[in-house]
Amino acid sequence: MIIYWIITIALVCGIIIWTNPHIVGIICSTICNKHQQLLYNIVKATNPKPLLRLPTKSKKLDPSIIQKIKDSKTLSFLVVKDRQIILEQYYDSQPGSKILSFSAAKSIIGLMIGIALDKGMLHSLDQTVVTFFPELKISPKVKIRDLLTMSSGLKWNENFRNPFADVVKAYYTNDLWNVVKHTRSIFPPGKQFSYKCINSILLGLILEKASGMSLSNFTQKFLWTPIGAEFDALWAVDAHGVPKTFCCIYAAARDYAKVGLTLLNKGFFNGQQIVSSDYIGQMTTAATYLHDKQGNTVDYYGFHIWITKYNGMTVPYFRGMFGQYVFILPKKNAVIVRLGKKRVLPGFNQTPQDVEFYLSAGLQVIDN
């Protein structure tokens, strides 16, 4: 009887793994107690131009704040004002460390959609997804704009705690298209905000289709080289080279800051207009014509970028699962970057609790 049950359990486990090969990655990550090492394509820093530094001695944070930053598993904390680094601190990392973005990558892909639009690779944000991928069984009304504002109405399980959820499959799979092709429309697009990684994945696929370039080559030519990135970056891909644009660029803190500075300066950076100021204006304006599942007006999200209010300021910001933040503060002409391994989130679609702390810490340096 025992042997029978052992064989039965083994068969069931085998079937689960056979039909869900991403489970192997989950098991390996759990055993090793670290995130899966993803495949990646390199984005070369072909024109490195270091950021200027404050001529005088760098400013410092209060010891109590430094301790809290350390306790929150921060890897790097960087403050740039008037295009000069005024504070740069690293904990268990260094200036060239390539730190995984998680969902902060969404804001980067959102920015690059604007670049493709400016260059005529995309004709309009109102182009439909099926124009690029007619094989998808989704509503023919889903537009690029709907993907950018997380209002596509597509079915997608975003529960990270469920090993069989779509988002978990997408992260661990070596065949991302096989996950994407099963998505369906469940409510009309352009109406309801619903944060789902499928939107970002489709934007990456559209960008490659429209440009005829790999995402890594597009990033290198039209973003990394123009901003004068100091360090190479890595875009995670599956075994077929399909980019994981919903989660996974590895980059250094200074280069995340440069992307933030590009938004801060309305698309102009390093002596050139990298993306139009009009697109940046749209990107960083909340999509208030949308409502979320609770019926609230969406005053906290634009084109793949979060928006919060702090001390009378409107602050667009990149946001990753473990507290990867790039805060853009137009009123202060400043950018704050915090990368780490921990985030305090009280509830989905709410501003994380630690956002206020990092903004306060950065502003202490900026204002003093």
Asked if residue 311 belongs to a domain, the reply is: no
Query: Which pLDDT belongs to residue 12?
Result: 42
Query: Domain range spanning residue 149?
Result: 35-53+96-304
pLDDT value at residue 164: 83
Q: Which helix (H) or strand (E) holds 314?
A: strand 313-319
End-to-end Cα, the chain, rounded Å: 74
Task: Summarize the confidence of residues 107-136 as an average pLDDT.
Answer: 98
- Confirm whether 336 is domain-assigned: no
pLDDT digits (tens, 9 = 90+) for 222-232: 999 999 999 99
Assess if residue 41 is contained within a domain.
yes
Q: What is the CATH number of the domain that holds 122?
A: 3.40.710.10
DSSP string, 62-114: -HHHHHHHHHTTEEEEEEEETTEEEEEEESS--TT--EE-GGGHHHHHHHHHH
- Tell me how far apart the alpha carbons of residues 311 and 328 are, in angstroms, rounded to a whole number: 14
CA–CA separation, 302 and 262 (whole Å): 16
Residue pLDDT, tens place only, 265-311: 999 999 999 999 999 999 999 999 999 998 999 999 999 999 999 99
Question: Does the pLDDT value for residue 32 go beyond 70?
Answer: no
Question: How far, in Å, are 154, 172, 283 from residue 136 at the CA level?
Answer: 11, 22, 26
For CA atoms 94, 103, 206, 262, the dihedral sign is negative
- Given a contact cutoff of 8 angstroms between Cβ atoms, the answer to whether 366 and 78 are in contact is no
Under the banding of pLDDT at 50, 70 and 90, the label for residue 1 is low
Categorize the per-residue pLDDT at 33 as very low, low, confident or very high, splitting at 50, 70 and 90.
very low
How much is the pLDDT for 77? 97
Number of domains into which the chain is organized = 1
Residue 46 falls inside a structural domain: yes
In the numeric block, the tokens 């995309």 are attached to 122
Q: What is the value of pTM for the model shown?
A: 0.90
Q: Which tens digit of pLDDT belongs to each residue from 169-204?
A: 999 999 999 999 999 999 999 999 999 999 999 999
Return the percentage of the chain with pLDDT > 90, whole number.
80
